[in-house]
């Protein structure tokens, strides 16, 4: 029997890169994966790869920052499955790298809305579904700048630092009330579109593939890790 047979997994930002790789890996291990991102066409391509490999998936195209979208998604999963075993919060935006004094306020608001406020909304809307699982697991993708500030990365780094604090607070709140656990994963230097935007002169051949991160996530989910675990993928 596959390691995650019977498990329901939800992966955000699943249309490409690390999110897509995680979705495909969890499906390969037997989970039914719900894929979310804004672009239906890209989600369909990931879904097709999962089907072709013998896995099962459902796509749910949505914008996490759109009012009511997260609640609607949670309601749909609640009605169909009544639980979520694995929730992987991967969706994020980089924004423009710039000195703190000249951060664009409008763009900073968008970064915080997606990278932080929408993530809290996901935790709120899916809390009961994670608790309904006998092994609910929340995995939050972060960045090294969330714990180690770097020049020009203030906006993105602040959003990730706040997200880490939020996720660890949630971990403390649920650990004695359910079997749900929380882990934070820093994927490290990985060949993604976001990485290419941040480091346009970098040779992508020197970076690890998203599948390496996906393997690490699957291994963690298959273990009895301590809630609050922070894993850096090298």
In b/e form, how buried is each residue of 94-108, taking b as 16+ CB within 10 angstroms? bbebeeeeebeeeeb
- Catalytic residue (one of 152, 156, 170, 199): 156
Q: Is 6 exposed, middle or buried (0-12, 13-18, 19+ CB in 10 A)?
A: exposed
d(CA 23, CA 13): 10
Per the annotation, the verdict on 156 as an active-site residue is yes
Token pair of 89 as six digits: 């919060």
d(CA 194, CA 214): 17
Q: Would you please indicate which residues are annotated as catalytic (active-site) residues? A: 156
């Amino acid at each position: 029997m596959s390691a995650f047979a019977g498990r329901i997994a939800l992966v955000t930002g699943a249309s490409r890169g690390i999110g897509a790789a995680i979705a495909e890996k969890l499906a390969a291990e037997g989970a039914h994966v719900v894929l979310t991102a804004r672009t239906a066409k890209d989600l369909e391509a990931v879904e097709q790869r999962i089907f072709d490999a013998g896995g099962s998936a459902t796509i749910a195209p949505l914008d996490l920052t759109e009012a009511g979208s997260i609640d609607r998604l949670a309601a749909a999963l609640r009605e169909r499955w009544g639980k979520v075993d694995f929730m992987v919060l991967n969706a994020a935006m980089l924004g423009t790298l710039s000195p703190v004094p000249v951060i664009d306020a409008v763009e900073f608001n968008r970064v915080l809305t997606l990278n932080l406020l929408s993530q809290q909304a996901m935790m709120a809307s899916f809390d009961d579904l994670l608790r309904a699982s006998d092994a609910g697991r929340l995995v939050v993708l972060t960045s090294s700048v969330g714990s180690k500030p770097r020049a020009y990365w203030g906006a993105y780094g602040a959003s990730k630092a706040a997200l880490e604090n939020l996720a660890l607070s949630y971990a403390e709140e649920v650990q004695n009330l359910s079997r749900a656990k929380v882990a934070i994963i820093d994927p490290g230097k990985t060949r993604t579109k976001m990485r290419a935007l941040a480091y346009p002169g970098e040779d992508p051949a020197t970076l690890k593939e998203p599948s390496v991160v996906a393997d690490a996530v699957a291994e963690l989910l298959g273990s009895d890790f301590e809630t609050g675990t922070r894993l850096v993928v090298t």
